Structure 1
Amino acid sequence: MNPSYLKKYVEMHPGNKMAWYLLGKEYERSGQVGKANYCFNKAGHIYEAFESSKVPAEVWKEYEAKLLEASAQKERRSRRKRKLLLALMILLLMFIPSINDPSIAENSMMAGDTSSIEEDYLTLPVQEADNPPAAPVQGPRAASLAFTAKAYGGGAGNKALGELIMDKGPQAQLTAVLGMRQHGKWLLWKRDMPVMFTVERDPASGRAAVQSYDAKSCECKPPDEGPLRKKANQWTKEQEANAVVASAVEHFRQKNGRKPAKLGELVKPYPDNWIAGSSPELEAAFERAVQANLDPSGTGANGSSKGSSTKSAAGTDGEIRSNAHAGSKPFFNEPLEILVDKTSHRLALVSGNVILRSYKVGLGADRTPEGSYAITEKIVNPNGRSNGEFGSRGMQLSDTNYAIHGTNEPDSIGKDESLGCIRMSKEDVEELFDLAPKGTKVTVGKGIVPDLSADSEIRFVLQDRPDQTNPHRTYHWLF
């Protein structure tokens, strides 16, 4: 007999006095007298009755075996029930007449809460009634492809699928869902996130097919994600450009009382270099940004508060609440912010509770002051040098003597050796310089960023860079 199995049984059935008695006997045989006595007390009169009886040992073993078999049968019934719920969910996907019909969506939720169904749905590579797996999207249909990103792991996959089903907004024919790692409230964004699954809809019948791309979850051999991977990398690049432009537009509006008329107003030589350069993705993002993607009233596109990273674009269960179909509007709906954690020596670029980048930085312990700042200047090659104490990039904090900058002492990264400034490696500070517009909020504190790497193998690099040097000033930052 396995005491741990009996322990599990009595936890599930605390009123079964015989089970308590049997567990006590197991503890007694193993010499754990204290635990045995506790179980005998729980057994009550059963202990008194059977301790004075002459029941053969074989009878006890047979009873224990039946007890365990009954528990195993219950677990098997529970698994069958989950499979039945899974099948019901797939049937709902196949026969929904119109995904956009609110009454159908409500009925599907009444039939079964998709958030409670385990990720077993991913074991079905493609599910359609009596039809073979859907052919890859080709020709004109490829234009309807949309991407989004969701938390994955711990049951989050079926929540993402349920959200796609319940979304009453415009539906793409094929939606690919990329997976973000989750750590507490934080979701980790990467340029090369894996494809979790796709949902393909037939506009004529309203049927939907789910295709898993996660071999571990579906216990199958998923199709090659190569054709989707190239498009997914381009989508993530576009979403980062959207976030940069939208944030820059909002900071420009706050400073000048109006929005820029063209991207060229943001990409100018120092000191008007709100953005460090341009790219085709930034050009495409500009028109969307000037149409008030960021609401100056203090709420994001989904009605959540903007001023703090704790009030975020994602719910407490790790789901992004809006922009589920990111082919129709930008994914990030809160301004970019920088968080610097003095405990973990991490600098994170975030939008709401999504971490776009997280870099190891060098600090100055108590010499690095805590508080809120904003990037007021962005300088290339501070003091005319790319290999000096400030490295190749500098971002001054609120007209103080503190800055985020590079360093000619790379071994100090991750340590408290600066006089108060925030030191970064050359590659990291140059990427952050391109990602964080002038005006970006910077918060320095303790315990505000997890010690997790969220840098990407694919760097964000801008082109068509104006002159952003400032030869007329010598900077005296506390490096």
Structure 2
Amino acid sequence: MKNSLYLKKYVQMHPDNKMGWYLLGKEYEKSGQQGKANYCFNQSGGIYEAFETSRVPSDIWLEYEQKLLKQAEDAERKRRRIRRAAVALMILILVLIPSVESPQRQSLAEESANPREEVQAAAAAGDMPEKTGTSKGEGAAAEAGQPASGTVFTALGEDDGDGKAHLLAGEMSIAQKSRNRLAVLTMKRQGKWLLWSRDLPVSYTMLSGGKGKMTYQSYNAKDCACKPEDQEALQSAAAKWTLEQEELALLYSAMAAYRDKNGALPKSVNDLTRPFPENWVSGRTPRMQEAFAPMAEWMQSGDSSSKGQEGGSGETASGANTPSSPFASTWGQEPFLQERLEIIVDKAAHRLAVVSGDKLIRSYKVGLGGERTPEGKYKISIKVMNPNGRDDGEFGSRGMQLSDTNYAIHGTDEPDSVGKDESKGCIRMRRADIEELFDLVPLGTPVLISKGVLPDLPLVPKERFLTKPKQDQTNPHQTYHWL
């Protein structure tokens, strides 16, 4: 598929080259991506029919393809050189700015002969993902425009220098447009995981002033001997944003799981909040209600199903640019947590985590059954309140069955067994933990049971994620015999 990457970039730069479209289509056809291949063949016009019926020796066509690929490779190498230089410059700027000790925002006013053109080139050639079913790239999304006032948020890992440069390039690339101030939150890193939290600290803000100017304000006491006047208010707004992203992640994951089973997205939130056994989510929040229609539009336009568990991208939903949109507070006008929620159980650490891609959303201590707890991949097939008619029985107040097995994630009437191997194979949780987990993940959530995959650290918010269930989620007609 290396050739397809070069050819894809080539046709983007030369959309009128019919032969380039045809050759790209053949690359997709070789890899089994017939839908993409057909699209390319349609763009190639008469070249497709001419080639498919032509008797021209294949070595002539091969020579043409090699010449075309060489042109594309040369162009790509040039773009890489520009990208490296631009990223290095952005990182240098961001490293140097915080050293200025001032209670006021610092302004980057250095202008090149044509700063907009230079940074646009850097953004176009930089680390912006193409449309592959996950994310269309924050810099590109910023071009879609933002509300004229207010603050939008995003988050980066504490060691993500490339991400900082990418954000700066995206901001400066739209310097002629009025847009919101961007507030960047910082996530700590533990191994491969980025630790999500309701109280992620605001690290810095950026605001494009036009004509190559950028206003940058540090909110990190280590970087700036200052305390901005709006620090508390901004941190409070950030906490609301992180909660909102959890609500959107639940809604997206539930809608995606519903589509997996039924072949189509739900028509309304009511389809997700039916009584047992169709209780895809345990309840709803006002934000989930407001976000349903924009989320459905975003998922349909982005074809998020093409990446399996990962979120969709595509064009921003038409309603996402309004200030009332559930996506309006996020830089890029899309949900921040774009990969479906998943549960991971680490038998070695006695940990159960909720993750979205490389972001660790929650981490609970659990009780297991040692070797009696099986390893492998499962899905939440049943969510039931008060298993066997009680909230204080051996399975506690909540239970979630793993596929068609007798194993489940459930509460317990023996809380001291959490952290130990005393079950017959099931996963035991404390009451507050299982009740939050029950509300946080939908029916159909993937579950991976393994060893040595999670850090042994707690990760729960002070205020738990809880919805307000309105439907009956009990099942008094069945006695469960989980292990």
Give the TM-score range, shorter chain.
Answer: 0.5 to 0.7
Q: CA RMSD in A?
A: 2.9
Q: Which residue of 1 aligns with 2:304?
A: 295
Between stretches 212-221 and 467-476, larger displacement belongs to 212-221
CA contact (8 A) 2:383 2:398 kept: yes
Q: Which residue of 1 aligns with 2:385?
A: 380
CA contact (8 A) 1:410 1:425 kept: yes
Deviation at 1:144, TM superposition (A): 3.8
Q: How does 1:228-243 map to 2 (within 5 A)?
A: 228-243=234-249
Equivalent AA in structure 2 for residue 261 of structure 1? K
CA contact (8 A) 2:148 2:179 kept: no
**In the alignment, which of 214, 222, 226 is matched to residue 216 of structure 1?**
222
Deviation at 1:241, TM superposition (A): 1.1
CA contact (8 A) 1:396 1:403 kept: yes
**In the alignment, which of 441, 447, 452 is matched to residue 452 of structure 2?**
447
CA contact (8 A) 1:339 1:443 kept: yes
Q: Distance in 2 between matches of 1:127 and 1:378?
A: 52
Q: Distance in 2 between matches of 1:283 and 1:340?
A: 31
Q: Distance in 1 between matches of 2:445 and 2:276?
A: 16
Deviation at 1:111, TM superposition (A): 8.8
1:220-245 CA-to-partner distances (Å, cap 9, x unmatched) read: 44445211122112111111111111
Equivalent AA in structure 2 for residue 285 of structure 1? A
Equivalent AA in structure 1 for residue 191 of structure 2? G
Structure 1 pair 143–224 and aligned structure 2 pair: CA distance change class (3 A): closer
Equivalent AA in structure 2 for residue 128 of structure 1? S
Q: How does 1:359-438 map to 2 (within 5 A)?
A: 359-438=364-443
Between stretches 448-457 and 235-244, larger displacement belongs to 448-457
Structure 1 pair 432–220 and aligned structure 2 pair: CA distance change class (3 A): same
Structure 1's unaligned 5+ residue stretches are: 1-102, 131-139, 304-322
Deviation at 1:302, TM superposition (A): 7.3
Normalized against structure 2, the TM-score is what? 0.66
Structure 2's unaligned 5+ residue stretches are: 1-78, 110-145, 314-327
Secondary structure of 1:469 counterpart: coil
Q: Which residue of 2 aligns with 1:286?
A: 292
Secondary structure of 2:304 counterpart: coil
Structure 1 pair 389–129 and aligned structure 2 pair: CA distance change class (3 A): closer
Secondary structure of 1:215 counterpart: coil
CA contact (8 A) 1:213 1:223 kept: no
Deviation at 1:287, TM superposition (A): 1.9
CA contact (8 A) 1:246 1:294 kept: no
Q: Which residue of 2 aligns with 1:134?
A: none
Q: Distance in 1 between matches of 2:93 and 2:455?
A: 30
Number of residues paired by the alignment? 344
Q: How does 1:1-400 map to 2 (within 5 A)?
A: 109-110=85-86, 112-115=88-91, 119-124=95-100, 125=102, 126-128=105-107, 143-152=149-158, 154=159, 156=160, 158-167=161-170, 172-202=179-209, 204-291=210-297, 292=299, 295-298=304-307, 300-301=310-311, 325-326=330-331, 328-400=333-405
Q: Distance in 1 between matches of 2:363 and 2:165?
A: 30
Structure 1 pair 277–111 and aligned structure 2 pair: CA distance change class (3 A): closer
Q: Which residue of 1 aligns with 2:11?
A: none
Equivalent AA in structure 2 for residue 162 of structure 1? A
Q: Distance in 2 between matches of 1:374 and 1:428?
A: 19
Normalized against structure 1, the TM-score is what? 0.66
Structure 1 pair 146–110 and aligned structure 2 pair: CA distance change class (3 A): closer
Equivalent AA in structure 1 for residue 232 of structure 2? G
Q: Distance in 2 between matches of 1:144 and 1:177?
A: 14
1:346-399 CA-to-partner distances (Å, cap 9, x unmatched) read: 101001110111111111100100000000000011111111111111000002
Deviation at 1:441, TM superposition (A): 0.2
Structure 1 pair 410–334 and aligned structure 2 pair: CA distance change class (3 A): same
Q: Distance in 1 between matches of 2:240 and 2:306?
A: 32
Q: Which residue of 2 aligns with 1:51?
A: none
Q: Distance in 2 between matches of 1:401 and 1:160?
A: 44
Equivalent AA in structure 1 for residue 207 of structure 2? E
Q: Distance in 2 between matches of 1:117 and 1:142?
A: 26
Larger of the two Rg values belongs to structure: 1
Equivalent AA in structure 1 for residue 164 of structure 2? L
Structure 1 pair 260–405 and aligned structure 2 pair: CA distance change class (3 A): same
